[in-house]
Amino acid sequence: MENLDLNRLPKHIAIIMDGNGRWAQEKGQDRLYGHFHGVQSVRNIVEAASEIGIKYLTLYAFSTENWDRPAAEVAGLMSLFVDTISKEVPDLHKNNIKLHFIGNLSLLPDDAKLALEQATQTTSKNTGLELIIALSYSSRWELIQAIKNIAEMVHLGTLAPADIKEATLEAALSTSAFPDPELMIRTSGEYRISNFLLYQLAYAELYFTETRWPDFRKKDLIEALLDFQSRERRFGKTSVQIHTND
């Protein structure tokens, strides 16, 4: 922690929390046992990110594709989300954390929708860490929604096709209120983005670790941050330009 440069932290970290199933199976347990333990990592990393001074943290909790998992696993995950969110809200609120949910939330069961609405409402005035949970989310789904909204504006005559810019698309995404992630972490040794924030991750530094999500803790987050700080972010420029501000 003392080696971290607190002036060069990413404002926004996005995490693909992978490996719960394998972690459980390696212990001879049911996959849901892994998700249950994954919640401890969520708690630990949210607390650590808030302490370190990260402003935005996005966690990929459930993808659109995850709806195709066995029904018992989907049902178990849904009740885990409802339980965890309802149970954690008082603590999150006390720690000044503001919750957001992105994704196709209309597909969620009613009790989950209610828990999310209440959690968003309760924490809406908080000014600390902004915790964004991607639930029933996929980037292609999000892009299609954005394109439909833009097409509608063109259809109504409020937007000329020639005026469509990056900012137009960004404003139509579910992440319009947040800056792009500067660091994306994926646990458990898979080297993929899996339909997560495809537009927003354009310039993110990607960090992959073999550690399974239920084992991922504050020290692992700090390792990822140290790795991030060792990289040179050039945004298409040359190294000389970056060092001379040219």
The pair of structure tokens assigned to 47 is: 């607390």
Query: Can you tell me the distance from the alpha carbon of 150 to that of 176, in angstroms, rounded to the nearest whole number?
Result: 14
Backbone angles phi, psi at 73, to 5 degrees: -70, -40
Please select the residue that binds ligand FPP; options are 13, 20, 57, 181, rule is CB under 6 A.
20
Q: Which is nearer to ligand FPP, 12 or 35 (CB)?
A: 35
Q: How far is Cα of residue 99 from the mean position of the Cα atoms in its chain?
A: 12
Catalytic residue among 44, 66, 126, 195: 66
195 binds ligand FPP (CB under 6 A): no
Q: Is 66 a catalytic residue?
A: yes
User: Which window, 38-46, 168-176, 201-209, 231-239, contacts ligand FPP (CB under 6 A)?
Assistant: 38-46
17 binds ligand FPP (CB under 6 A): yes
Query: Can you tell me the distance from the alpha carbon of 36 to that of 38, in angstroms, rounded to the nearest whole number?
Result: 5
| Adjacent-strand bridge partners of 134 | 60, 102
Q: What is the DSSP letter of 173?
A: S
Query: Can you tell me the distance from the alpha carbon of 29 to that of 17, in angstroms, rounded to the nearest whole number?
Result: 19
42 binds ligand FPP (CB under 6 A): yes
Contacts of 160 (CB under 8 A, 6+ apart): 154
Q: Is 18 a catalytic residue?
A: yes
The pair of structure tokens assigned to 20 is: 């719960």
Residues between 58 and 97 with contacts to ligand FPP, criterion CB under 6 A: 59, 61-62, 66, 80-81, 84-85
Q: Which is nearer to ligand FPP, 31 or 146 (CB)?
A: 31
Q: What is the CA radius of gyration of the chain?
A: 19
> Whole-number minimum distance, CB 19 to ligand FPP, in Å?
4
Contacts of 33 (CB under 8 A, 6+ apart): 24, 27
Is residue 231 within 8 Å of residue 224, measured between CB atoms? no
| Total residues binding ligand FPP (CB under 6 A) | 21
35 binds ligand FPP (CB under 6 A): yes
CB-nearest residue to ligand FPP: 21
> Whole-number minimum distance, CB 235 to ligand FPP, in Å?
31
22 binds ligand FPP (CB under 6 A): yes
Closest CA to 116 of 157, 160, 85: 85
Q: Which is nearer to ligand FPP, 85 or 201 (CB)?
A: 85
> Whole-number minimum distance, CB 94 to ligand FPP, in Å?
18
Binding footprint of ligand FPP on the chain (CB under 6 A): 17-22, 35, 38-39, 42, 59, 61-62, 66, 80-81, 84-85, 133, 188, 213
Active-site residue list:
18, 66
